[in-house]
Amino acid sequence: MPQLQLKDILDALGCEHKVVGERETIVERALPIDVADERSITFCNKQGDRGRSLLCRTRAGVVITLKDHEETCLHREDGIFILVDDPRLAFSRVLRRYFAKERSTGVHHTAVIGQNVSISPDAFVGPFCTIGDDVTIGGGSRLLGSVTIYDNVRIGRRVTVHAGAVIGTDGFGYSRDPEGRVEKFPQIGGVVIEDDVEIGSNACIARGALVDTIIGRGTKIDNLVHIAHNVQVGEDCLIIAHAQIAGSVRIGDRCWLAPSCTINTGVSIGDDAMVALGSVVVRDVEPGTFVAGNPARPTIRKL
């Protein structure tokens, strides 16, 4: 259990801040604002009356909150309030530095490792993982329980792959012969997962047919997402649960794909675009556009 002083917390914020009620305190745990006590740190990113009410009632020793709440914090005679632009982000940095579980390294004895595999000494391959041939796993990356990595997959640094995910499956590529029988189109590409990507449980990412499927640096993929062959995903995208991305889709940087959306084969989605919950995208999406519906159409972002 950590024993944090105010200076320790401020060191972790990495952003501009102002302290209200600076005094001696020791923080031992992180808790939600409604159950926090005097030995806890918490955050409040609610605006207006909702935020003010939470700040007036909390018993937390340290609260990271919005700069707009300075007047409310000044009226509190107990507690310490740290005012920032983005309380959730600042709080998460404190959690990562002082409260996150220490990461294991090495290869679990139940993992199955193929030939010509390169695993960084500070990576972690968890129980019952299966790693195919010609795979590279970079420094600080973690494959948690029962992850399956097929042949010819390159995983960068600080990548996290959660339990049950499968990377490098064959893409769904078939042709019919003159008699109507189905013949497989060989899938001979690979998968490249760039640095700082996170892949959720039971997500599936298919290898390319002839070129690699690529997941760009910093992208986060939720549980139960399907990404088909030849897809190119840009940097810092957020792809949420049950999203279905068909083959040869191009997704730009910083895109947001909401839960259960479907992206049709060959569609391009521009940088900073957003796709709403359950939408079906059948044509290209311009950069910075928010689309919703079936078929998806541009709409106003506040929806």
Active-site annotation, residues: 229
Q: Which region holds residue 97: left if phi is over 0, alpha if psi is between -120 and 50, else beta? A: alpha
Q: Strand 18-20 to strand 80-84: parallel, antiparallel, or no bridges (unpaired)?
A: antiparallel
d(CA 244, CA 247): 10
What is the chain written as a DSSP string?
A: ---B-HHHHHHHH-S--EEES-----B-EE--TTT--TTEEEEE---HHHHHHHHHH---SEEEEEGGGHHHHHT-SSSEEEEES-HHHHHHHHHHHHTSPPPP-EE-TT-EE-SS-EE-TT-EE-TT-EE-SS-EE-TT-EE-TT-EE-SSEEE-TT-EE-TT-EEEEPP--EEE-TTS-EEEPP----EEE-TT-EE-TT-EEEPPSSS-EEE-TT-EE-TT-EE-TT-EE-TT-EE-TT-EE-TT-EE-TT-EE-TT-EE-TT-EE-TT-EE-TT-EE-S-B-TT-EEETTTTEE--TT-
Beta sheet of 136-137, edge-to-edge order: 118-119, 136-137, 153-155, 191-193, 213-215, 232-233, 250-251, 268-269
